[in-house]
Structure 1
Amino acid sequence: MKAIVYTKYGPPHVLQLKEVEKPTPKENEILVKIKATTVTMGDIRSRSFKVPLSVWLPARIIIGLRRPKKTILGLELSGEVESVGKDVKLFKAGDHVFAASQVGYGAYAEYKCLPEDGSVAIKPNNLSFEEAAAIPIGARTALFYLRKANIESGQKVLVYGASGSVGSYAVQIAKYLGARVTGVCSTTNIELVKSLGADKVIDYTKEYLSRTGETYDVIFEAVDKSSFSACMKSLKKDGTYLNVTVPLPGVRMLWTKLTSSKKLILSQNSPETPEALNLLKELVEAGKLKVVIDRYYAFEEIVEAHRYVEKGHKKGNVVITMEHNSKS
């Protein structure tokens, strides 16, 4: 089968299209013929190995000291089940599924084996394969963190980076949970964020968060581009700060934890289970959650896709289709 392989860390051109052995499902696994995958910031960080200095060594040990342990990237996918292991009960050949492959990577390939009890579920019936592939990481991450904040109806939630993958889902899920949502984005993305249901939008190029005078029950940092001190000024004294990009607290964060009643929740991996995907499927089919796709690329154009995402200006998601002709 064809796969995108990388054997060393570096810029996008380290990704190479190669022929590799097609996997065979184990007794508890399904074999998925992949129809679409995505380029996430997780893929970018793993490929380039641009990670915070505080986690450089443990990340290197996990991902690979001298070279990548997992040579095929790709964290989310959608496709059709081609075959199943003899013990599989939940899926059958022909099922259309979507899945996260956060532990093993491997979605940059024509086929991928997944455990039936992993983060895999039947695809929403009102989405294309391309749309469904853009849900398992961004939407699941937003749901995971917002649940930790225990949001109550009427609370005020601010989403910083509201036009990105995680942020666009966070706006919608916070609204679903009953919050009054303020999104922060650039001028060009204001209408997009409003269309996702945000009650208010702050243009960070024209207005400083700390000068708005507003305070929030929850601040959701999806891109780690805001000032932590500004967020603390805008967070209520018993509020919750969620940051999906910072794995370890800095000095200011530790001091805040010790000297205030504010709750800080930093980067964690959401569980590799189907529960969240099934809920997200229900929300999509009920029309309460939509997928934002910035660009489509063909499988053979994945280097170009990585270059685009690495610039840090994508809106929502960037999708890779296994078809040979890319979409605009």
Structure 2
Amino acid sequence: MRAAVIDRYGTPDVVRITDVPTPTPRADEVLVRVVATAVTAADSRIRAARFPKGFAPFARLAFGASRPRRTILGGVFSGRVEAVGATVTGLSPGDEVCGMTGVRLGAHAQYVVVPAKRIVRKPAKVTHEDAAGVLFGGTTALYFLRDRAAVRPGQSVLVNGASGAIGTNAVQLARHFGASVTAVTSTRNNRLVTELGADRVIDYTTTDLADVPDRFDVVLDTVGNLSPASGRRLLTDKGVLLLAAADLWATVRARGAVKAGAAPERVEDIELLLLMVADGELSAVVDRVCDLDGIAAAHQRVDSGRKVGNIIVRP
């Protein structure tokens, strides 16, 4: 099969397309023919070994000290079941499925092997591109807004980095939960975040968040440029600061009104997001779609910081 492989850490040009053996599923695994996957901020960080401050030693242990242990990146997939392991029940070749692969990665290829317990059936109304596009940002936004902040009707939510994969989902989910939403983005994305449900837009190219006089019940930082101290200044007395891209020091210090940490990859959350997409309550924002040969350019786009929503790859 063809796959995007990295043999060393570095810039996007370390990603090369080559033929590798098609994986064979174990007894409890499923072989999926990947129709769509995404190049996310997580893929970019792993490829470049560019981890949040303080996390590098731990990340190197997980992903490889001197060179990548997982040579095929890609943590989300949508596709069709090709084969199932001997003990797998309820899934058959041809079924349309999607999911997340966790630290195993491997989705930037024509085929990926996934534990059956991680597989979610894709609703017929949801395209493979939308399924792959909603998973990474959607699960993160849902975890922070629903589980860590319990966003409810009448609250005010500020989304910093509202045009990215997490941010575009966060704007929609916060509005879905009944909150009023203020989106922080650049001039070119003002219209997009407004169409997604933002009641107000702060253009960071002309306005510094430190100068914003308003206070919010919930502040979600998807970028990593808010510290616990600067974020707290934006909160109401009982407000909650959500740091989705925190460094190690901020994560360790997060307590009380400050929440940080990694979002879990739960099947039930994926099923909920897919149902919302199928019902037209949530839209997967797609920056561009490319084939596997365009994946290095996709990494470049992510590295530029100008990516809007998701970059989808069709292997």
Q: Residue 39 of structure 1 corresponds to which residue in structure 2?
A: 39
Shift in Å at residue 226 of structure 1? 4.2
Aligned partners of 2:50 and 2:103: how far apart in 1? 19
User: What amino acid is aligned across from residue 245 of structure 2 in structure 1?
Assistant: T
SS at match of 1:137: helix
Shift in Å at residue 87 of structure 1? 1.8
Q: Does structure 2 retain, via aligned residues, the 8 Å contact 1:172–1:197?
A: yes
Q: Does structure 2 retain, via aligned residues, the 8 Å contact 1:249–1:266?
A: no
Q: Residue 257 of structure 2 corresponds to which residue in structure 1?
A: 263
Aligned partners of 2:123 and 2:270: how far apart in 1? 10
Q: Residue 293 of structure 1 corresponds to which residue in structure 2?
A: 286
**Unpaired segments ≥5 residues, structure 1:** 323-328
Deviations 1:24-58 (A, max 9, x none): 11121111000111110100010000113411211
Aligned partners of 2:22 and 2:208: how far apart in 1? 52
Aligned partners of 2:225 and 2:210: how far apart in 1? 14
In the alignment, does 2:130 pair up with 1:137? Answer: no
Aligned partners of 1:303 and 1:62: how far apart in 2? 23
Bigger Cα displacement from structure 2, 203-212 vs 10-19: 203-212
Shift in Å at residue 128 of structure 1? 2.0
Picking from 271, 292, 295, the partner of 1:302 is 295
Aligned partners of 1:216 and 1:195: how far apart in 2? 21
Aligned partners of 2:299 and 2:29: how far apart in 1? 30
Q: Does structure 1 retain, via aligned residues, the 8 Å contact 2:160–2:167?
A: yes
In the alignment, does 2:165 pair up with 1:184? Answer: no
User: What amino acid is aligned across from residue 145 of structure 1 in structure 2?
Assistant: F
TM-score (norm. length: structure 1): 0.91
Q: Residue 58 of structure 2 corresponds to which residue in structure 1?
A: 58
Q: Does structure 1 retain, via aligned residues, the 8 Å contact 2:5–2:15?
A: yes
Aligned partners of 1:193 and 1:300: how far apart in 2? 30
Q: Residue 164 of structure 1 corresponds to which residue in structure 2?
A: 164
Shift in Å at residue 288 of structure 1? 0.6
User: What amino acid is aligned across from residue 305 of structure 2 in structure 1?
Assistant: G
Q: Does structure 1 retain, via aligned residues, the 8 Å contact 2:131–2:274?
A: no
User: What amino acid is aligned across from residue 315 of structure 1 in structure 2?
Assistant: V
Shift in Å at residue 269 of structure 1? 3.5
Aligned partners of 2:51 and 2:27: how far apart in 1? 36
User: What amino acid is aligned across from residue 206 of structure 2 in structure 1?
Assistant: K
Shift in Å at residue 124 of structure 1? 3.1
Shift in Å at residue 247 of structure 1? 4.2
Q: Does structure 1 retain, via aligned residues, the 8 Å contact 2:123–2:274?
A: yes
Larger relative contact order, structure 1 or 2 (CA cutoff 8 Å, min sep 6):
2
Aligned partners of 1:205 and 1:227: how far apart in 2? 19
Q: Matched residue pairs, number?
A: 314
Give me the CA root mean square deviation. 1.7
Equivalent pairs: percent with the same residue?
38
Aligned partners of 2:164 and 2:85: how far apart in 1? 37
User: What amino acid is aligned across from residue 212 of structure 2 in structure 1?
Assistant: T
Aligned partners of 2:294 and 2:136: how far apart in 1? 21
Shift in Å at residue 231 of structure 1? 2.4
Quickly say closer, same or farther: Cα 1:250–1:29, change in 2 above 3 A: closer
